[in-house]
Amino acid sequence: MTGQREWPLWEVFIRSRRGLSHQHVGSLHAPDAEMALRNARDVYTRRSEGVSIWVVPAAEVVATSPDEKDSFFDPAADKAYRHPTFYDVPAEVRHL
């Protein structure tokens, strides 16, 4: 029975106002992209929380694995020189 089968899951991203990027707000089930957008409007923007909505099939999201979290992000951990605070600058220098 078609009605019994669960609709695919969509991840919902909303731009809350112009000038800001879309942000993940949650997910919902819908039979197709158009219904996903309409449902997202009703579920996530009832109080004008958005000016633009993206819906993405959850199955299409490729993510890093939490298991390799440490090794995957390790290369950035020992490169403090990538931050401006790493450098010694004489106190009298301005606008640097």
Partner 1 sequence: MTQDLARFARFQALVDGDERIEPRDEMPEAYRKTLIRQIAQHAHSEIIGMQPEGNWISRAPSLRRKAILMAKVQDEAGHGLYLYSAAETLGVDRSELLDLLHAGRQKYSSIFNYPTLTWADMGAIGWLVDGAAIVNQVPITRCSYGPYARAMVRICKEESFHQRQGFEILHTLSRGTLEQHAMAQDAVDRWWWPSLMMFGPPDDQSPNTAQSMAWRIKRFSNDELRQKFVDMSVPQAEVLGLSLPDPDLRLDEETGRYDFGAIDWSEFFAVLQGNGPCNAARMEHRRAAHEDGAWVREAATAYAEKAHARAPAAGAA
Q: Which chain residues interact with partner 1 by CB under 8 A?
A: 1-7, 9, 26-29, 31-32, 35, 42-43, 46-47, 63, 65-67
CB of 82 to partner 1, least distance (A): 24
Q: In the chain, what's the furthest Cα-to-Cα distance?
A: 76
Nearer to partner 1, 51 or 68 (CB): 68
As given in the structure block, the two tokens for residue 47 are 């109080």
What are the Cα distances from residue 5, in Å, to 1, 2, 8, 30? 7, 6, 9, 11
Give the residue carrying structure tokens 């309409």. Answer: 38
CB of 7 to partner 1, least distance (A): 7
Nearer to partner 1, 3 or 90 (CB): 3
Give the residue carrying structure tokens 């004008």. Answer: 48
CB of 21 to partner 1, least distance (A): 18
